[in-house]
């Protein structure tokens, strides 16, 4: 079952040909600067033509195409085979994700034109979190305004949270249905999720991927009153948007959005970087505590994505002071560098702490193959 996985951005197309059963990546690549002078293609349709050329004889082995779609709104609760109606629905949801959904859609349209004879499947970042109870997804604002504008918590990184939760259950040799989990997806974009019996019951991102944890360039949680204050002070909507999405988080606090730079700056004695790490860890513990309460217990806490998979220091720091909750890492186990899923808490610890590498492309391939196979 070979699935062609497409992650289409406004000026890029990332692709992988994945064998969903053996989990082998047959081929992968990237088109960049689409539509720009000297770029790899003039538009997404041209881009897919280039991709098909690169695929050569492999194209004949594709049984389905899996598309990453950022926002599925309230309409999509699971991976969905794409037809014209689904395309139209994704377009409608673009008001909620103006940067992402139109770009995802351009890739879908181009790929359906280029590969009309195989099923195309949309896999939504939001879908996994549609299981959240209303108590977790509802913002306390005027009901009519919220309904009119689709204002609620949707959550993102769902494909990753679900994939990692499954792998965690496998590693623990337990059924997913028997587990209460907290997953910390800590990359450039970061989010936490509380997962009970395989269902997301709360997550830190909200209407957009701006809410929650401190990220590379995004602020995460901030009093919405601060936005109003800045707008009244004369900043434009575009300036506030750029401030919160592109110039905040680690970048805003330290001058670099890359965690490796921040760690190096802390080592060199930089006080701003030291504070940034404290804010980063404080926010993570805020959510871990909240989700412990929401879950009413915890079997395992899972670290994933760039920071979660690669930094023993930051994993230890995130859980610093939580030993009274049964949460902590074993220094030797935590120090092991590996590409494999592993336990990093001590033998017999009340709560297992795991590192589970995420793989969104494989998750999309498996979701698509499960749906069409």
CB of 361 to ligand ADP, least distance (A): 11
Name the residues annotated as catalytic: 125
Q: Report which residue's Cβ sits closest to ligand ADP.
A: 306
The per-residue b/e assignment along 126-159, b for 16 or more CB within 10 angstroms, e otherwise, is bbbbbbbeeebbeeeeeeeeeeeeeebbbbbbbb
Report in angstroms how near the CB of residue 210 gets to ligand ADP at its nearest: 14
Cβ count near 244 (within 10 Å) = 21
Phi-psi region of 113 (alpha: psi -120 to 50; beta: other; left: phi over 0): alpha
Supply the DSSP symbol for 346.
P
What contacts 220, CB < 8 A, 6 or more positions away? 190, 204, 210, 211, 212, 213, 214, 249, 283
Distance CA 183, CA 48 (A): 35
Helix (H) or strand (E) holding 228: helix 224-232
Kindly tell me which of 184 and 351 has the beta carbon lying closer to ligand ADP: 184
Closest approach, Cβ 291 to ligand ADP, in A, equals 21
Nearer to ligand ADP, 189 or 206 (CB): 189
Which CB sits closer to ligand ADP, 112 or 315?
A: 315
Cβ proximity to ligand ADP, 263 vs 330, nearer residue: 263
Nearer to ligand ADP, 310 or 346 (CB): 310
CB of residue 66 to ligand ADP, shortest distance in Å? 17
Secondary structure (3-state) at 345: coil
Residue with tokens 């949270």: 161
Other beta carbons less than 10 A from residue 85's beta carbon: 9
**Footprint of ligand ADP on this chain (CB under 6 A)?**
187-189, 216, 258-260, 263, 305-307, 310-311
Shortest distance (Å) from residue 183 CB to ligand ADP: 13
């Amino acid at each position: 079952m070979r699935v062609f996985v497409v992650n289409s951005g406004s000026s890029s197309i990332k692709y992988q040909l994945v064998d969903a059963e053996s989990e082998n990546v047959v081929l992968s690549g990237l088109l960049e600067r689409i539509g720009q002078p000297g770029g790899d293609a003039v538009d997404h349709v041209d881009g897919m033509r280039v991709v098909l050329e690169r695929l050569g004889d492999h194209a004949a082995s594709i049984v389905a195409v899996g598309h990453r779609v950022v926002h599925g709104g309230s309409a999509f609760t699971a991976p969905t085979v794409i037809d014209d109606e689904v395309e139209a629905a994704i377009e409608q949801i673009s008001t909620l994700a103006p940067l992402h959904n139109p770009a995802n859609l351009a890739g879908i349209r181009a790929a359906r034109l280029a590969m009309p004879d195989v099923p195309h499947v949309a896999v939504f970042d939001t879908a996994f979190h549609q299981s959240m109870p209303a108590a977790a997804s509802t913002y306390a604002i005027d009901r009519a305004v919220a309904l009119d504008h689709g204002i609620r918590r949707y959550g993102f990184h769902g494909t990753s949270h679900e994939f990692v939760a499954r792998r965690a259950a496998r590693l623990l040799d337990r059924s997913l249905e028997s587990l209460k989990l907290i997953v910390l997806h800590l990359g450039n974009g970061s989010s936490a999720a509380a997962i009970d019996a395989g269902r997301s019951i709360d997550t830190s991102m909200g209407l957009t991927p701006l809410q929650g944890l401190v990220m590379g360039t995004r602020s995460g949680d901030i009093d919405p009153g601060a936005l109003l204050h800045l707008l009244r002070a004369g900043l434009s909507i575009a300036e506030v948007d750029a401030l919160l999405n592109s110039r905040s988080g680690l970048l805003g606090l330290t001058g670099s959005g890359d965690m490796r730079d921040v760690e190096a700056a802390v080592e060199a004695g930089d006080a701003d970087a030291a504070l940034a790490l404290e804010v980063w860890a404080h926010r993570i513990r805020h959510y871990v505590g909240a989700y412990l309460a929401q879950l009413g217990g915890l079997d395992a806490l899972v670290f994933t994505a760039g920071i979660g998979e690669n930094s023993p220091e930051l994993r230890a720091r995130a859980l610093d002071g939580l030993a009274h909750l049964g949460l902590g890492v074993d220094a030797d186990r935590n120090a092991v560098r590996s590409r494999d899923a592993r336990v990093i808490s001590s033998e017999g610890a009340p709560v297992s702490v795991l590192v589970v590498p995420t793989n969104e492309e494989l998750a999309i391939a498996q979701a698509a193959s499960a749906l069409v196979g």
